[in-house]
Structure 1
Amino acid sequence: MGEKSASGPTSGHGDITPDGPTVTHEEGSQEQSKWKMTKGGDGDTAMALFSDPAELNEQIDPKEIRRLLWKIDFMILPYLAVCYAFFYIDKTTLSYAAIFGIREDLNLHGTEYNWLSSLFYFGFLAWAFPTNFLLQRLPIGKYLGFNIFLWGVFLMIQAACHNFATLGVLRVLGGAAEACSDPAFMLITSMWYTRKEQPVRIGLWYTANGFGIALGGLLGYGIGNIRGALPSWKYEFLVIGALCSVWGIVMFILLPDSPVSAPGLTKRQRRLAVERIRENQTGVENKRLKPYQIKEAFLDYKLYLFFILGTVGNIPNGGISNFGTLIIQGFGFSTLGTTLMQIPYGVLIAISILICVYLNDRFQNRRCLFIVLFLLPNIAGAFGLRYVPLDRKVGRLICYYLTGPYNAAFVLILSMQIANTAGHTKKVVTNAVLFLGYCTGNIAGPFFYKSDQSPTYSLGIWSMIVSHLIEVVVIITLGLLLRWENKKRDRIQSQMEGGLEGRDLNATAFLDLTDRENLNFRYIY
């Protein structure tokens, strides 16, 4: 399954889209009136960078674009990568706290530890839609930095908890604060990068997920060796929370909100940054909430398939991120030895993500194919954890490590979602729904790991196997449907005046049209 180029949007006359409303495209002398309509406020914010239509067609030096891309990378990726490392470290703080004695100190019984794992995602779930709409209305860099600061504060306060109830409330608040993170990262990536570039850039900041696991192992080992007045699990919350809050302040100050207003770029560089992403046909941003785009999002089958992918892709994550240390400890390692065994796991995840996005970029964006390929090690590893004998500790550890590459597959799923959704309000809604699935999977995942099945957790391992198999079926289905959509649009436009070659990217690139409204939009699969 490959990528169909999204070159050019209109045929120069009235077009009726295959899935949505009629879109009228003027030509010739009417170009100026169309421009004025767009400048009137209904189009994309990027239009404010151009003082007249001629600037849309200015000649661009490829070398200048390459220099600009390097500058953008340094302006965006380090902040997102460090932040994402902290996200995963945060998700594993409870796992490390478990082996440092939090269950005994807080007298957690039955499924209370499982609930602490899931309550974080209940907060995420409850605040998912409000925070996504706030991301559309507010400066995205400032809003993201503020939430990360709060999230670190809530994490630090967890060190003061004395029972399940207070810790549970703070887990919910922490989840709400983090609810903007992944959607914000995806919107930022879609603002700054072409659809071809997006998988690599998502892969680069998502790779920090793996390094976060490795760094979390090192921090856990260091914190476990602290001999202070407090239990080790309290230092875990205090140290990680403080680092997160500091990084939230850094992002609030330094992360640009948009290519349209980035203080680190000249006006020409801002225009070029916007010009680069014209081919996306998804625009930069639009601050006006459009109800019809909300309705269209919920009538689009892709939204529901991405919800399913978010769910089944994260049932394994919800289990492994909270029970991974307990599974490793069950192999016979000491407490501190268990923390160190997480380091190779994190490095493997990082390497698998980088290999996946490189191969996807090298072989023409065959995203569905590489998603399936990078799910196969996880399925094999999960079967190994289920059936390799308990006395084969090295073999079982290798099988555990093989469950890591699902992160690479999820990177490409995220890239498919942002690449195949146009219209800013529709993007916001689809983002929110995908991460509702993300929350649902992470909430459900820990409950498959029954304490009476420790350390093999057979039901939990079966949940991984079944989830990944469903994921394979859904992604193949999605790829076939998107391929059919592209062929349908090619057929319609080939019968129009000018044919497929007569389309003009400038006409619809920044009108904030949805992918269904814009006949010239092509899906990537």
Structure 2
Amino acid sequence: MASATPEKTLFDEKNVVVEAVSYEVKDDSEDGIQQADKTGLSTMATFGLREDTGLVGQQYSWLTTVFYLTYMCFEFPSNILLQRWRMGKTLYALNFKHLVALRAPQGFFECCISPGFILIIGSWYTRREHSSRSLVFQRQCRIGVIADLTLYGIGTLEYNGKDIQAWRYMSYFLGSLTIAVGLLCLYFLGTPSEVPWLTKEEKRMANTRILENQSGHDRTGTKVWKWDQARECLVDPCFYFAGINAFLSSVPNGGLTTFGSIINTSFGFTSLQVILYTIPRSMTSVVIFVIVGLVTSKWKNLRLYIMAFATIPPFIGFLGMALIETSLSNKWTKWGMYYMPVPFVLSLFLAWTLIPSNFPGRTKRTVTSSFTFIGYCVGNMCGSQIFKTKDAPTYTPGVIGCSICFGLEFLVIVAWRTTLVLRNRRRDKAMLTDGLTEEEREIQGKINGESDMTDFENPHFRYTLRRKTLI
């Protein structure tokens, strides 16, 4: 493991508080504050939201679809704004129309969160630190445990009257918590050059640390848009691997986000039991992220291996949920199958960490990030729609569809890693005849990175795969 330099210790101490409090994660198994607010819809559905607001047919599914529709529409513009602006500055429902009117803006305001944190990771940390530091964000599923316990308490209370149902108070709690933490983000979030809580010397130290990434400076507010880098994305297979991987892993995510609690009740559990039995999944996520964070810090270039492995348990779990008969005698077996997809988020989130690591060039990284999150949005929209009302309460066709997605994702990840390995080998072979010393290559690689060169343009750049880079 890399030794702890004073600079590294300083930035870890200052950033871990920001990360732990403010990161608003995206996936079912890792509930941060924003995630708890967003996915609380599934829990509210088991407490009468659909009946009280008169939802029929696929209207409930559309509450998730419209969220990701606005998310997708504003994804690319928000990524451009993240590059051009300073990063840190970027209710009452009675029926379907009211709910849609509230869900759509939620997608609009959330579309820049994950891309923004990808930019932050690349701005603060070296490539070797990317995956472990990113997983600090994902470990905030313990916030989801607190939220689940609070929702359980709200659900156990007795309510009288049409306008004071349990699901409404769940929404009040989650929304208020998100707003409160959002205000803190205005001060704390940003790249090293932007944040007000670093001295000038500390900002200089932070920028010096990431020179070895060969991926450029951390500054947002950059007005230059390089069309040659955007066109380069169209001929880079890894650009498509990133988007397709995000799509395939997000189809199950969209289904679980919207229908997870409903599917759980179909096993024979009550609405309150479903909340309690979600907590072990969240705690397992914490353990998995800690282990993966430690492993990826100590041993380099394991991300794609872990991503591929992370698709296997959910493939088996979804298939088991679909094929095992639903009965009271099988409810714990079915719950075990529902428990197995917990690691699936690794295949999505570790892929996000490859963007700052393996896509140098500000414009190329912006386009890749946008395309990846568009795949994420389309996948979540499809995931919410493949669960049809006529298939309730087990939604077997939708569950099988999720299993197929994980099988295909495994193949995409294998192809992705093979491509990067072959690229590194070609670059290593060409290096033998370039006439430069190892020290000269390292210096030139850093200069090229600061010149905003892409991986195609910088021959000294190596993808984060091999145990030992040769520069």
TM-score where L is the length of structure 2: 0.90
5 Å matches for 1:425-444?
Answer: 425-444=363-382
CA drift at 1:268? 2.2
CA RMSD of aligned residues (A): 1.9
State whether residues 25 and 114 of structure 2, in contact with CA within 8 Å, keep that contact through their aligned partners in structure 1.
no
In the alignment, which residue of structure 1 is the partner of 2:29?
none
Is the counterpart of residue 241 in structure 1 residue 188 in structure 2? no
The C-alpha deviation readout for 1:298-321, integer Å capped at 9, x for no partner, is: 332221111100100110100011
CA distance in 2, matches of 1:500, 1:253: 42
In the alignment, which residue of structure 1 is the partner of 2:453?
513
State whether residues 254 and 384 of structure 2, in contact with CA within 8 Å, keep that contact through their aligned partners in structure 1.
yes
- Which secondary structure state, in structure 2, belongs to the residue aligned with residue 264 of structure 1? coil
CA distance in 1, matches of 2:115, 2:157: 36
5 Å matches for 1:341-380?
Answer: 341-380=277-316
CA drift at 1:436? 0.2
State whether residues 91 and 322 of structure 1, in contact with CA within 8 Å, keep that contact through their aligned partners in structure 2.
no
CA distance in 2, matches of 1:422, 1:312: 25
The C-alpha deviation readout for 1:254-298, integer Å capped at 9, x for no partner, is: 32x221233222222212211111111112235122232222223
CA drift at 1:186? 0.6
State whether residues 22 and 184 of structure 2, in contact with CA within 8 Å, keep that contact through their aligned partners in structure 1.
no
The C-alpha deviation readout for 1:54-92, integer Å capped at 9, x for no partner, is: xxxxxxx96423432333433542244467701220222
Is the counterpart of residue 277 in structure 1 residue 243 in structure 2? no
Of the three residues 240, 261, 270, the one matched with 1:325 is 261
Of the three residues 399, 406, 415, the one matched with 1:477 is 415
Structure with greater Cα Rg: 1
- Point out the more displaced range, 297-306 or 354-363: 354-363
- Point out the more displaced range, 437-446 or 384-393: 384-393
State whether residues 132 and 428 of structure 1, in contact with CA within 8 Å, keep that contact through their aligned partners in structure 2.
yes
Is the counterpart of residue 392 in structure 1 residue 325 in structure 2? no
**Aligned pairs, how many?**
448
In the alignment, which residue of structure 1 is the partner of 2:463?
523
TM-score where L is the length of structure 1: 0.81
Residue type of the partner of 2:106? G
State whether residues 212 and 346 of structure 1, in contact with CA within 8 Å, keep that contact through their aligned partners in structure 2.
no
The C-alpha deviation readout for 1:2-55, integer Å capped at 9, x for no partner, is: xxxxxxxxxxxxxxxxxxxxxxxxxxxxxxxxxxxxxxxxxxxxxxxxxxxxxx
- Point out the more displaced range, 121-130 or 370-379: 370-379
Is the counterpart of residue 179 in structure 1 residue 111 in structure 2? yes
CA distance in 1, matches of 2:35, 2:387: 20
CA distance in 1, matches of 2:98, 2:75: 22
Residue type of the partner of 1:108? L
In the alignment, which residue of structure 2 is the partner of 1:193?
125
Is the counterpart of residue 70 in structure 1 residue 1 in structure 2? no
Residue type of the partner of 1:176? F
Residue type of the partner of 1:429? V
CA drift at 1:491? 1.8
In the alignment, which residue of structure 2 is the partner of 1:95?
42
The C-alpha deviation readout for 1:192-221, integer Å capped at 9, x for no partner, is: 01111010111110122x334433322321
State whether residues 127 and 179 of structure 1, in contact with CA within 8 Å, keep that contact through their aligned partners in structure 2.
yes
- Which secondary structure state, in structure 2, belongs to the residue aligned with residue 316 of structure 1? helix
In the alignment, which residue of structure 1 is the partner of 2:194?
261
**Unpaired stretches in structure 1, ≥5 consecutive residues:** 1-60, 144-156
**Unpaired stretches in structure 2, ≥5 consecutive residues:** 27-31, 466-471
CA distance in 2, matches of 1:87, 1:132: 19
- Which secondary structure state, in structure 2, belongs to the residue aligned with residue 508 of structure 1? helix
In the alignment, which residue of structure 2 is the partner of 1:120?
67
In the alignment, which residue of structure 1 is the partner of 2:361?
423
In the alignment, which residue of structure 2 is the partner of 1:136?
83
In the alignment, which residue of structure 2 is the partner of 1:401?
339
State whether residues 122 and 357 of structure 2, in contact with CA within 8 Å, keep that contact through their aligned partners in structure 1.
yes
Of the three residues 271, 276, 299, the one matched with 1:340 is 276
Identity %: 30
CA distance in 2, matches of 1:214, 1:67: 29
- Which secondary structure state, in structure 1, belongs to the residue aligned with residue 267 of structure 2? coil
CA drift at 1:94? 1.2
Higher RCO (CA-CA < 8 Å; seq separation 6+): 1
CA distance in 2, matches of 1:392, 1:62: 50
State whether residues 285 and 424 of structure 1, in contact with CA within 8 Å, keep that contact through their aligned partners in structure 2.
no
Is the counterpart of residue 455 in structure 1 residue 421 in structure 2? no
- Which secondary structure state, in structure 2, belongs to the residue aligned with residue 314 of structure 1? helix
Residue type of the partner of 1:239? F
Residue type of the partner of 1:161? A
CA drift at 1:333? 1.4
Residue type of the partner of 2:155? G
- Which secondary structure state, in structure 1, belongs to the residue aligned with residue 311 of structure 2? helix
The C-alpha deviation readout for 1:463-515, integer Å capped at 9, x for no partner, is: 12111111110011010101111111122222112255531144223212222
- Which secondary structure state, in structure 1, belongs to the residue aligned with residue 449 of structure 2? coil
State whether residues 213 and 342 of structure 1, in contact with CA within 8 Å, keep that contact through their aligned partners in structure 2.
no
